[in-house]
Amino acid sequence: MSTDPTDPANPESPRVGVDEWVASHEQRRTHRSGFAGVVERELARVPSPAFYLGFGVAAAILPAVTSNGYVINVGVNTLLYMLLALGLNITVGYAGLLDLGYVAFYGFAAYGYAMLASPQFGLHWDTLAVIPLVVVATAILGLLVALPSRRLVGDYLAIVTLFFGELFATVYQNGESMSLLGFTKPHNITGGPNGIVNIDQFHVFGARIGALNYTAYYYVALVFFMVLLFAAYLVDHSRTGRAWRSLREDPLAAELMGMPVNRLKLIAFACGAGIAGLAGTIFAAVNTAVFASEFDFTSGLLIIVYAMLILGGAGSLGGVIVGALVVNVSLEVLRDPGHATWVFYVLIAATLVAKLRPWRWLAVIAAGTVGFGFAVHAIVSAVWPRGVHGQAAVGGVLGSGLSHWVILPSNPVTIGNVAFISLVLAVLVLTLLKGWAQKLAMIPTLYLAAFVWENRLVVEPSITRLILVGVILIVLMNARPQGLLGTSRVEIV
């Protein structure tokens, strides 16, 4: 009798294409061998809350390690991103509802706090009264947005929520003169493009957090995040969490199993919106001013939060932490052109080392790219001297080498734009080639990438850092579609 577990004649083996095959995929997963495999298996035995608690302890000692105000401010912003990603993880990661208007809840709460704790209407409510009121109001708003979306899924739901986000930005951007259907006198509600300024700091029973006291806000945000993180963990392991995951995988099957699908959608939207609302109140107090332009689609905030969720792994609470840390710290590092340049070239080198096999091709492409660059630089220097009069963005040895290798025109804007379009086309052509032709085509493509970086991208770090994060996400999605800490899913196709 056959003992092969994959033999169809073996009655103990799961049958491919039926439920028992999917149910037993955990037992059939392959594990790494050697020391890495041992570490992986031992870490898998540690309960998730232990990792969350470890993060909380490590984060709590950060202000004791450094007194740098900039670092603490980055920490506050990172925790705000974690709160946003946590709320989005409930809506998108757990329930599988594509919400493109999520940032509007964040802005709604920020404006709500500003209206109740600023000179805008002469109100200066206590923080303990404002935060619960704003969070509940934001959750109710999420519930109202979800009501007409109960029967929508996928792209249709995304369109409706995107409309809500744009509606919010438009109304608040033009809210300096609002009336009720023209029957009342216009009033300045949101401040319009000027926003609402001089917002009160958090104050409880007369005790007030001082202006620019980032350390205090850091601990406030950390406490809120840790409480909500453990609450989300408990919900994830409850009946509601399991029902959300069923809704995400197959709404029709969940409904046929008797699950209240519409109610689950409403709860997911309300919970996600409420967490975004809490983050919005902290944001308003920290910055002491809010502007509608900070919450519209062009601000890039929605893309950043989604990038954090995707990078960490949708549906993973640990992924929320890792995604927010990696993305926000990367964005801060990439603000400096010198740091961004190092990241760019190290990323290219690491990609080549990881992907090129056999190793001789790595040597050929590296040597070929260097030689190709020096040859092009020498030709341009002889034919067009002004084409090498520019300066590299980074100094030191790397900057000196780039100045003698990359063409650096004194006025690079126009030629940089043309080169950027050419680079996109070159990458597309590169994906169509195979074998040695593809590898040889990498040489001019890599040099063109360096040219575009030095002449066009590095001079606009606000845009370039988002492009780099996007490239990192594309590479990750190809290598690990479920994200860094996400769980791969077994599907019957």
Per-residue pLDDT of the chain (493 residues; tens, 9 = 90+): 445 544 545 555 554 444 554 555 555 555 556 666 677 677 778 788 999 999 999 999 999 999 899 999 999 999 999 999 999 999 999 999 999 999 999 999 999 999 999 999 999 999 999 999 999 999 999 999 999 877 887 788 889 999 999 999 899 998 888 877 677 788 889 999 999 999 999 987 777 887 778 999 999 999 999 999 999 999 999 999 999 999 998 888 888 888 999 999 999 999 999 999 999 999 999 999 999 989 987 778 998 999 999 999 999 999 999 999 999 988 888 888 888 888 889 888 988 888 888 889 999 999 999 999 999 999 999 998 888 888 787 777 888 888 889 999 888 888 988 999 999 999 999 989 998 999 999 999 999 999 999 988 887 877 787 787 777 777 777 777 788 887 766 554 4
The predicted structure's pLDDT at residue 137: 97
CB under 8 Å to 1, separation ≥6 — which residues?
9, 10
Task: Tell me the CB-side half-sphere exposure of residue 180, using CA atoms within 13 A.
Answer: 2
**Packed helices 48-60 and 214-236: angle between N→C axes, nearest 10 degrees:** 180
The predicted structure's pLDDT at residue 27: 53
How many other C-beta atoms can be found within 10 angstroms of the C-beta atom of residue 231? 13
The predicted structure's pLDDT at residue 1: 45
The predicted structure's pLDDT at residue 296: 84
Q: Does domain 48-326 have CATH number 2.40.10?
A: no
SS3 readout for the chain? CCCCCCCCCCCCCCCCCCHHHHHCCCCCCCCCCHHHHHHHHHHHHCCHHHHHHHHHHHHHCHHHHCCCHHHHHHHHHHHHHHHHHHHHHHHHHHCCCCCCCHHHHHHHHHHHHHHHEECCCCEECCHHHHHHHHHHHHHHHHHHHHHHHCCCCHHHHHHHHHHHHHHHHHHHHCCCCECCCCCCCCECCCCHHHCEECCCCCEECCEECCCCCHHHHHHHHHHHHHHHHHHHHHHHCCHHHHHHHHHHHCHHHHHHCCCCHHHHHHHHHHHHHHHHHHHHHHHHHHHCEECHHHCCHHHCHHHHHHHHHHHHCCCCHHHHHHHHHHHHHHHHHCCCHHHHHHHHHHHHHHHHHHHCCCHHHHHHHHHHHHHHHHHHHHHHHHHCHHHHCCCCCCCHHHHHHHHCCCCCCCCCHHHHHHHHHHHHHHHHHHHHCCHHHHHHHHHHHHHHHHHHHHHHHCCCHHHHHHHHHHHHHHHHHHHCCCCCCCCCCCCCC
The predicted structure's pLDDT at residue 463: 79
CA Rg value for the chain: 26
CB under 8 Å to 237, separation ≥6 — which residues?
none
Q: Where are the domains of the chain?
A: 1-45, 48-326, 339-459
The pLDDT tens digits of the residues spanning 151-210 come to: 887 788 889 999 999 999 899 998 888 877 677 788 889 999 999 999 999 987 777 887
CB 17 within 8 A of CB 492: yes
Q: How far apart are CA 231 and CA 240, in angstroms?
A: 12
**What is the residue whose two structure tokens read 């919010």?**
168
CA distances from 148 to 130, 173, 240, 419 (A): 28, 25, 22, 46
The predicted structure's pLDDT at residue 18: 46
Dihedrals φ, ψ of 178, to 5°? -120, 140
358 preceded by a cis bond (ω within 30 of 0): yes
The predicted structure's pLDDT at residue 389: 82
How many other C-beta atoms can be found within 10 angstroms of the C-beta atom of residue 297? 16
User: pTM of the full predicted structure?
Assistant: 0.84
How many other C-beta atoms can be found within 10 angstroms of the C-beta atom of residue 10? 13
Q: Identify residue 227 by its one-letter amino acid code.
A: V
Q: Is 401 exposed, middle or buried (0-12, 13-18, 19+ CB in 10 A)?
A: middle
The predicted structure's pLDDT at residue 33: 62
CB 448 within 8 A of CB 275: no
Q: How far apart are CA 325 and CA 308, in angstroms?
A: 8
Q: Which residues are 289's β-sheet partners?
A: 197
CA distances from 21 to 11, 13, 273, 420 (A): 13, 9, 38, 48
Q: Burial code of 338-358, b = ≥16 C-beta within 10 A, e = fewer?
A: eebbebbeeeeeeebeeebee
CA distances from 68 to 50, 62, 65, 303 (A): 29, 10, 9, 28
